[in-house]
């Protein structure tokens, strides 16, 4: 399982060492968990150094997810000889505003890259 944490080294220029350490704790906890996934559950499975407050801090940190996903793709999944399709979509999620009892919506974008199979 520790081999998975080694995959995070490509994030080094883009996130702090603390964030990488928190991320590795959360990843290992998520892989070990069964059932419902909550921040309290993650903190219970994270073990030493993975307190509830640590999990809160990680999820409160703003991360450049588009850059991280691109760097991870380029480092570990991209092969120059293959063709890829880039597809994107937009997801609307409910957001509670602190000044209003009525939920609002926020748009979140994501990009998926799928390898195209070629018959040779």
pLDDT-based confidence at residue 56 (cuts at 50, 70, 90): very high
Over residues 62-83, the pLDDT tens digits come to 888 888 888 888 888 888 887 7
Closest CA to 11 of 27, 29, 32: 27
Secondary structure E strands in 6-103: 83-95
More confident position, 27 or 112? 27
pTM above 0.75, yes or no: no
Closest CA to 7 of 72, 79, 68: 72
| Range 42-45 contact pairs with CB under 8 angstroms and sequence separation of 24 or more | none
Listed by start position, the domains of the chain span 2-116
């Amino acid at each position: 399982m520790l081999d998975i944490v080694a995959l995070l080294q490509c994030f080094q220029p883009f996130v702090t060492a603390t964030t990488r350490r928190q991320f590795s704790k959360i990843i290992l906890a998520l892989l070990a968990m069964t059932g419902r996934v909550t921040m309290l559950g993650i903190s219970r499975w994270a073990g030493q150094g993975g307190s509830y407050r640590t999990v809160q801090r990680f999820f409160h940190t703003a991360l450049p997810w588009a850059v991280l996903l691109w760097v991870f793709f380029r480092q570990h999944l991209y092969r120059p000889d293959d063709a890829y399709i880039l597809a994107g979509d937009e997801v609307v999620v409910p957001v509670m505003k602190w000044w209003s009892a009525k939920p609002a919506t926020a748009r979140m974008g994501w990009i998926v890259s799928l390898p195209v199979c070629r018959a040779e």
